[in-house]
Structure 1
Amino acid sequence: MRIRIKDGLYLTMDEQNLYASGDLLIEDDRIIQVGGQAPEDWQADETISGKGKLFMPGLVNTHGHTPMSLLRGYADDLALQVWLEDHMWPMEAKYTEQDVRYGSLLSIVEMIKGGTTTFVDMYDHTEVIAAAVEESGMRAVLTRGVIGLCSKEEQQAKLQHAVNFAKEWHGKADGRITTMLSPHAPYTCPPDYIEQFVEASRDLNLPIHTHMSETIKEVEQNVKDYGARPVEHLLKLGVFDRPCLLAHAVHLTDEEISILAEYDVRVSHNPGSNLKLASGIARVPELLRAGVKVSLGTDSSASNNNLDMFEEIRLAALLHKGVTYDPTVVPALTALRMGTIAGAESIWLDEVGLLKPGCKADIIAIDIDQPHMIPHTDLVSHIVYSASQHDVTDVWVDGRQLLKNRALTTLDEEQIRWEAARCFERLNG
């Protein structure tokens, strides 16, 4: 399949050539030209007008729990542990595979319509989520999240399921699905259990994804239980000897930031969720200065309460200015990189996050002929400070169009909305 986007404006996220204009050419799942004119002998199967739109790489959401969309608004304005233990976990214990399917699909619909083309997910019933991803056409890094507060027998069963899923689904859906291993957190997985995940990660040659240092209470409990803060604790257990993506990493010392930089540990910054749960504000400027790769995640839509990556990008740019009194600390382009190319790099996807020949054709179109996007002075600024998920008109993943003129092409949105509402009614009954 050959696609030509004609007379478009492109925000490439390539530092050497940030903007381009003219034609963008796609052949099968790859971008083969960005800007300039298509060769005279190049024949497209489909030609699309690019007028009035800005084309850019799809957004990358590096931390979430997609089935939790069913619990959006169910329990708000609570501390993390109260929210989890008294409200989320009891409801999630009732989940059936049907609930996981439609919770995931509801999140996927929201993400596609909002310009997210790749997401990281940590949950159970992972095969159901993988099937939803395959059906939708999205790109995802999937993990079977494992809580180890259970018997040894149940721990081993969960670990084996995580390993089997990772082996079976890595590279599936024409390569759009990759996998990681996910012990949920240091406070939900005993040390010897985390070490088993490290060993499995080494055996499968896959990264580790875990929550860490989300709240002060969590850090204090880690010191009480294990005599070390979470960074030192995970370092001793060998987690950082493997490729590792941490969700949150809010409460860090200077020494801990240095350790993360030394071991090339990546961090998924979740500003919206961290603010709503009053978990704190991650030290993103210090992490960036130390050379830590920082990306952005929404967390679940039960703790956010949406999956709007444009909102996370804007929060990342604004929040750290406010707390440091320094308007230069996270510039707009840095925040946008966190939601695109740095996100892809944080999850070891080296062909995503850029509009560049040879890269995957994961592309979104933004309607820039709207009052809040005019005049076209600085389009990076407009994307970061003015845009929202509702400005997305078209989405392609692997060269396949998933959203066309704001309408989904691979999923039945009306049915998914109806089924998701019905699932919640049963859960809440």
Structure 2
Amino acid sequence: MSAQTSDVILERMMTLHPKVIDLTLDRVWRLLGALDNPQDDLPPVIHLAGTNGKGSTQAMIRAGLEAAGQRVHAYTSPHLARFHERIRLAGALISEDDLTSVLDECYAANGGENITYFEITTCAAILAMARTPADYTLLEVGLGGRLDATNVIESPALTVITPISMDHEQFLGDTLPKIAGEKAGIIKRGVPCVVGPQADAAMEAIEARAAALVAPLLVHGQHWHVWTEHGRLIFQDESGLVDLPLPNLPGAHQIDNAGAALAALRHLGFDEAAQEAAVSRATWPARMQRLRHGPLVEAAPNAEIWLDGGHNPAAGEALGRHLASLIERPTFLICGMLNTKDVTGYLRPLAAVAQGLFAVSIPGEANTLSADATASAARAVALEAETEVSVGAALARIAREEPGARVLICGSLYLAGSILRENG
């Protein structure tokens, strides 16, 4: 079957609804009903929501489960290089034939009715996972929680809420309690929920939802604690203390993500070997990923090149802390962002650790912020900034002027995806 077949169907699905985002579950329930409700046939579900860290936390839970011999489905979004990355069936990325088959089936079952791209592709993922034997299903929320297309599991095994901050205000609300209330919509009656570090206003919204549904909470700082000591990760809960390696995923923020993953695994009854694998074996591209090979690296052979897809102020703060913790080295940002993001909020914490920024537009992305606008936002937070026509051109500049620099390519998962495709 042609490698382009799934791309053709996905392109066709983009035309089924005039809006990119339109939060409601009505269209999802209709299509799932036409497909004979595959969501009821999924292996036990762990459902994850949050503003930052849910992908990394999911990757750690998956690493722990798989180390324990479990077959694990995983659904995440967006993809970076290929759509297939979104759907993992029993440990392996979905094949082109299987993807084409479920996309075609969902397109036919939808009967030309209005439905968003994310909704119909989520239904396709659920259909594929329901038909493949496995022990667990990891479902990552796309946006929000209460009305997200993944929120169709009546009784998951566990829910997880990672740190919540301001993002997607146009869809989720303009205050932290409103956003947290939407994220907390994944909490189900009687189902335990692991909760990562939260601001008080967000925690109050989560607690209110959990109380209404009599859902037990396992909360960071109350029921579990995680910290570093002598180059090790220490986790403690009511069952005891465990001493583990630092997470394989770089960045101080991954300590809290690891804590949420460990709380989940321990609640599910997995032993210390699975817990150690969760922190030591997890991989997650474009989350402070060091680029070591490929044409971009060859263009700046003496530079230290990193790639990250974070795009909101909380992500900027986490990146700033991580860069500040590294061995001192001239640091430059190559940044491209969407026009829906809080650009100055993202860049402000990075201004303290970077000598300059090269702004680019995101290739092929209709909602890209112009390079000029990104540069202007950088200057507004006292960060020296210039524009460049591409990431490659910016790297060439840095290689000429500061050959031994540290370079962070950042600002958007869409930019990160284009870099991973370009760099092989």
Which TM-score applies when normalising by structure 1?
A: 0.31
Q: Which of the two has greater strand per residue?
A: 1
Higher relative contact order (CA 8 A, sep 6+): 1
TM-score (norm 2): 0.31
